[in-house]
Amino acid sequence: MIIVSAPGKVHLMGEHAVVYGKPALLAAINRRVVVSLESSQDGLSVETTEGEAYVRHAVQVTCDHLGQDRLPGVRIIVSSGIPIGYHLGSSAAIAVATVGAVIYHLKTIWNPELINQIAYEVEKKQHGNPSGGDNTTVTFGGFIWFRKEFEFLRSIWKFPFSFPQTLNHFVLINTGRPSETTGEMVALVKMKRDENPGTFEDILSDNEIQTKRVAQAIKEGNEEMLIDAIRHGQRTLEQIGVVSDRVIPLIRQIEEAGGSVKILGGGGKTGAVGFLLCYHRDPSRIQELCNPYGYDVESVILGEEGIRLEQRS
């Protein structure tokens, strides 16, 4: 049996902007997908609570890339600790873990660069025009500075320093699963950009400034800069229309309480936006603010390890 796991991820800043050549800062988190693969006499079978077609697609893309007509009889079991559709990188984690397991099964090689390359092709089915940042973070883990200038030119830089414990005050706020998919939100942003490219470019440039400030704040352990950069970056996301009116009042309340909070990934337009990433020194205060909305607050650890080959036998 082969067992491979991969983490979820969060955008500290740069989602949506990264699609248009701006940088994004992402972090792997302590939520994981586990993919188990074992030989079977019954052809290919997939056991998963959600996304069977996506897992089968990941298998086929991997086989095509390796010049294999089809995968010999195997049973694939997907177990996920990452809720699907909440912008925590579940599709990227499933793609990366599945690709890693299939490659190892067919070739007995462990090559994260190749896994990442193929997982990016898999992700195109889910999101249409992904940046590649999600699968890259899930594969390599830690904190990833990611920028795609062109399809053939991508910059990937993993922070060579650890996350300062003085800044270890992030939590996740569950606002519910968005009615819009990430692909739909990406398409919405593209439409708005096409309507007013000049204004949109100004917003993206501001987002880039805040992304750089978040990175600098982490490097220096500068809490004041981190909070301010997240607040300003969140404003740019509101300006491009990926933050629903339902969650903005809570965001302002958290800011007034001395914290900062932002959407993750695609966001949402009409209602729930998935998880919010919040920075505040007192999680109980955040839960208190979330109670009237019926939102739960969850702990989260940033900078976790990337893909792992858990078992090979």
- Per residue in 45-86, pLDDT (tens digit) is 999 987 899 999 999 999 999 998 878 889 999 999 999 889
Contacts of residue 69, Cβ cutoff 8 Å, sequence gap at least 6? 63
* Structural domain containing residue 157: 2-162+303-312
Q: Please indicate, yes or no, whether residues 191 and 107 belong to a single structural domain of this protein.
A: no
- What is the reported pLDDT for 72? 81
- Above pLDDT 90, what percent of the chain? 83
Q: Give the E-state strand segments of 222-302 in sequence order.
A: 260-263, 275-279, 296-299
Domain count for the chain, please give it. 2
Q: Please indicate, yes or no, whether residues 176 and 292 belong to a single structural domain of this protein.
A: yes
Nearest to 82 by CA among 164, 7, 162, 161: 7
Q: Please indicate, yes or no, whether residues 152 and 169 belong to a single structural domain of this protein.
A: no
Where residue 162 falls (left for φ over 0; alpha for ψ -120 to 50; beta otherwise) is beta
pTM of the complete model? 0.92
- What is the reported pLDDT for 150? 83
- What is the reported pLDDT for 127? 66
Structure confidence by residue, pLDDT tens digits, 158-183: 999 889 999 999 999 999 999 998 88
Pairing mode, strands 74-80 and 44-47: parallel
Q: Which residues are catalytically annotated?
A: 134
Which residue type does 64 have?
D
Q: Please indicate, yes or no, whether residues 237 and 139 belong to a single structural domain of this protein.
A: no
Q: Please indicate, yes or no, whether residues 127 and 175 belong to a single structural domain of this protein.
A: no
Mapping DSSP to helix (H, G, I), strand (E, B) and coil, where does residue 152 land? coil
Q: Please indicate, yes or no, whether residues 137 and 181 belong to a single structural domain of this protein.
A: no
CATH assignment at residue 108: 3.30.230.10
Mapping DSSP to helix (H, G, I), strand (E, B) and coil, where does residue 45 land? strand
Q: Please indicate, yes or no, whether residues 58 and 188 belong to a single structural domain of this protein.
A: no
Pairing mode, strands 170-174 and 143-150: unpaired
- What is the reported pLDDT for 128? 67
Q: Please indicate, yes or no, whether residues 153 and 197 belong to a single structural domain of this protein.
A: no
Q: Please indicate, yes or no, whether residues 37 and 138 belong to a single structural domain of this protein.
A: yes
- The tens-digit pLDDT sequence of the chain (313 residues) is 999 999 999 999 999 999 899 999 999 999 999 999 999 888 899 999 878 999 999 999 999 999 988 788 899 999 999 998 899 999 999 999 999 999 999 999 999 999 999 999 998 877 666 778 899 999 999 999 999 888 788 888 999 988 999 999 999 999 999 999 888 898 899 999 999 999 999 999 999 999 999 999 999 999 999 999 999 999 999 999 999 999 999 999 999 999 999 999 889 999 999 999 999 999 999 999 999 999 999 999 999 999 999 999 7
Instruction: Say how far apart CA 313 and CA 298 lie, in whole Å.
Output: 35
CATH assignment at residue 202: 3.30.70.890
Q: Please indicate, yes or no, whether residues 69 and 171 belong to a single structural domain of this protein.
A: no
Look-up of token digits 């509101």: 238
Contact of 119 with 95, CB cutoff 8 Å: yes
Q: Please indicate, yes or no, whether residues 29 and 157 belong to a single structural domain of this protein.
A: yes
Q: Please indicate, yes or no, whether residues 58 and 118 belong to a single structural domain of this protein.
A: yes
Mapping DSSP to helix (H, G, I), strand (E, B) and coil, where does residue 296 land? strand
